[in-house]
Amino acid sequence: MSSYADVYKRSIQDPEGFWAEAAQAVHWYKPWDSVLDSSTEPFYRWFAGAELNTCYNALDVHVEAGFGEQAALIYDSPVTDTIRTYSYAELRDEVARFAGGLAGLGVGKGDRVVIYMPMIPEAAIAMLAVARLGGVHSVVFGGFAAAELAVRFDDAQPKAVVSASCGIEPGRVVEYKPLLDEAIELATSKPQHVVMLQRPQAEASMLSERDVDWQALVADAKPHDCVPVAATDPLYILYTSGTTGQPKGVVRDNGGHAVALKWTMKNIYGVEPGDVYWAASDVGWVVGHSYIVYAPLFHRNTTVMFEGKPVGTPDAGTFWRIIEQHKVKVLFTAPTAFRAIKKEDPDGELIGKYDLSHFRLLFLAGERCDPDTLHWAEQQLKVPVIDHWWQTETGWSICANCMGIEALPVKPGSPARPVPGVDLQCLDESGKPVTAGDIGALVIKLPLPPGTFPNLWNAPERYVEKYLSEFPGFYSTADAGYIDDDGYTFVMSRTDDIINVAGHRLSTGAMEEVLAEHGDVAECAVFGVADQLKGQLPIGLLVLKAGVTRADEEIVSDVVKMVRDKIGPVAAFKTAVVVKRLPKTRSGKILRGTMQKIADNQTYKIPATIDDPVILTEIEASLRTIGYASA
């Protein structure tokens, strides 16, 4: 068995040979002309000239190899008391028929389809069906606010939308159709068709000239074959945090995505074909794309799709019940989930009620894993707990303990070392490497490996400006941290205004734009504060216009509702306070980082450039009124 050091060294010294070898595990209709096309730097392309189909590599190839009866997808929904298993053959047939239905609506190669669905099998079926047709899907988290959905319509210009009548949260049903109808009304680019899956918990009203019932569509459809596409053709667009009105559509291509994700299942996650693998995330996020739908199916694993919560559906033992019942070997989830479970069951009493003897590994990602959570999970589960770090843009790990290559010692607080293919470096502001142990900007030397993002949708200039311009020749992760003497990476903080709420990256700038729309607000700032459960929570500071007579509490209530309506409940924006003024530098920059330290009771230095240090005392007093800066 090769050591991590040997595999990593080869991937950096001979990336084309390394990834060409990995690509042998993928089915191609046509081989590549070049493994890496560097002719249009910095827009590198992998497997240029090759043709494949992503859906074929996820489903058909396994059925044709004789594994059609193996379980492909297990749908486990405690909120509807449903468990349903699809074999590879059954899932292939469902996908082919739905692809035929979409084709009957005019969806074809290169067409965009927005998928706005809860955690149900039909979401994966829709994704795979679009891929089968050579189309481009854009999954939007179910229940996302109408205004944000409309922005995505205008950017992606989808031919069709696939949705469901509702999502189900503990104790409530969230109807999607009113949000979807409002989004289409707001959008300039309106989809021609809406395919609606009616769920029994809520029936959506239908517009006869535009809306199509899912069941009626597939009843009349003929199964559709896989359509070959170029390896460099887009597979999906996934919108990530950006300023309101400026969507940032991360593009994933077909070829590099299939090669890299299939490779990760064995080499990073240590699973073999046939093993049951569970990523407890949502298809609306990148983890859901990569590790609920695509990678497990590429590798012929059984993937679990879970519609529920780590606590409350029905209790903090839900994860252990699923692991026992479905014989899950590897679980991948966010530290937030374990913090919630730990809060409800601190001594792990519920864990002891289940047989977890076949469970082998726990992977955590989506936010920095605090050592306390890591140790608790290790003690309770008695298996290795692996923190790993990656981003929507990369699509898979930047750093990880590659359990299928060599299990390295765990260092709490670190996602271990860079994965093969990732030349990670830590630079100072001038672009020079820092000394081991010193904090700097974490960057990846170009070209990025296969499976990462080759561009932003319709925004190549923004791609270069946002990610490649600060450190020429490198991709800027926008994370700060350090690399120690052993080569372990420690990710310490964001270098921009993105905060991490329960694993969801959210822009404080986008929230500030919403607050600023309130008629009584003259100025505002939003920053993240530490939260034991969610990692971070946003707090808003409001400076009111002169002469405002309404009560502060009413205005705070207004802006909380505005953020919920315009960005969505996922923002978890529930706290704001009215202040006299905001601390700023003499050049007018708001000192968000300083305010965050005050709120979190951290030591801080008064910035030399502050225009009036007395403001910080006022801010501290205001934050105390809402339960922060208490020490």
By the 10 Å C-beta count (0-12 exposed, 13-18 middle, 19+ buried), 127 is classed as buried
Q: How many CA atoms lie within 13 A of 213 on its CB side?
A: 11
Q: How confident is the model at residue 585 (pLDDT cuts 50, 70, 90)?
A: low
Collect all residues with Cβ–Cβ distance below 8 Å to 279 and sequence separation of at least 6. Answer: 287, 288, 290, 291, 292, 296, 303, 304, 331, 332, 333
Strand partners, 211: 194
Of 97-101, 495-499, 588-592, 597-601, the least confident: 495-499
Domain boundary assignment for the chain: 498-624
Structure tokens, 519: 């008629």
587 close to 517: Cβ distance less than 8 angstroms:
no
- Give the per-residue pLDDT at 8: 98
- CATH number of this structure's domain 498-624: 3.30.300.30
Q: What distance in Å separates the CA atoms of residue 398 and residue 15, rounded to the nearest whole number?
A: 16
Q: What distance in Å separates the CA atoms of residue 264 and residue 248, rounded to the nearest whole number?
A: 26
Average pLDDT, the chain: 92
Q: How confident is the model at residue 592 (pLDDT cuts 50, 70, 90)?
A: confident
- Average of per-residue pLDDT across 21-45: 97
- Give the per-residue pLDDT at 576: 94
Return the closest-CA partner of residue 618 out of 604, 605, 629. 629
Q: How confident is the model at residue 141 (pLDDT cuts 50, 70, 90)?
A: confident
Question: What does the pLDDT look like over 411-455, one tens digit per residue?
Answer: 998 999 999 999 999 999 899 999 999 888 999 999 999 999 999
- Average of per-residue pLDDT across 145-162: 94
The total of other beta-carbon atoms located within 10 Å of residue 80's CB is 14
Return the closest-CA partner of residue 566 out of 91, 2, 186. 186
323 close to 341: Cβ distance less than 8 angstroms:
no
Q: What distance in Å separates the CA atoms of residue 18 and residue 9, rounded to the nearest whole number?
A: 10
Q: Is the pLDDT of residue 588 over 80?
A: no
Q: How confident is the model at residue 501 (pLDDT cuts 50, 70, 90)?
A: confident
* Helices within 451-543 (DSSP H only): 460-463, 508-516
Q: Is the pLDDT of residue 571 over 90?
A: no
Strand, helix or coil for residue 128: helix
- Give the per-residue pLDDT at 587: 46
Question: What does the pLDDT look like over 105-134, one tens digit per residue?
Answer: 999 999 999 999 999 999 999 999 999 999
- Give the per-residue pLDDT at 496: 57
Of 46-55, 152-161, 235-244, 390-399, the least confident: 235-244
Question: What does the pLDDT look like over 203-226, one tens digit per residue?
Answer: 999 998 999 999 999 998 999 999
- Give the per-residue pLDDT at 342: 87
Cα 610 to chain centroid distance, Å, stands at 36
Measured between alpha carbons, how far is residue 478 from residues 271, 286, 441, 460, 471 in Å?
31, 18, 7, 18, 11
State the DSSP code for 308.
Answer: S
- Average of per-residue pLDDT across 137-155: 91
166 close to 199: Cβ distance less than 8 angstroms:
yes
- Give the per-residue pLDDT at 609: 54
More confident of the two residues 522 and 621: 621
Q: Is the pLDDT of residue 392 over 50?
A: yes
Which amino acid is present at 121? P
Q: Is the pLDDT of residue 603 over 50?
A: yes
- Average of per-residue pLDDT across 386-390: 95
Question: What does the pLDDT look like over 247-287, one tens digit per residue?
Answer: 799 999 999 999 999 999 999 999 999 999 999 999 998 99
- Average of per-residue pLDDT across 453-465: 96
pLDDT over 90 percentage in the chain? 74
Q: How confident is the model at residue 517 (pLDDT cuts 50, 70, 90)?
A: confident
Q: What is the pTM of this model?
A: 0.84
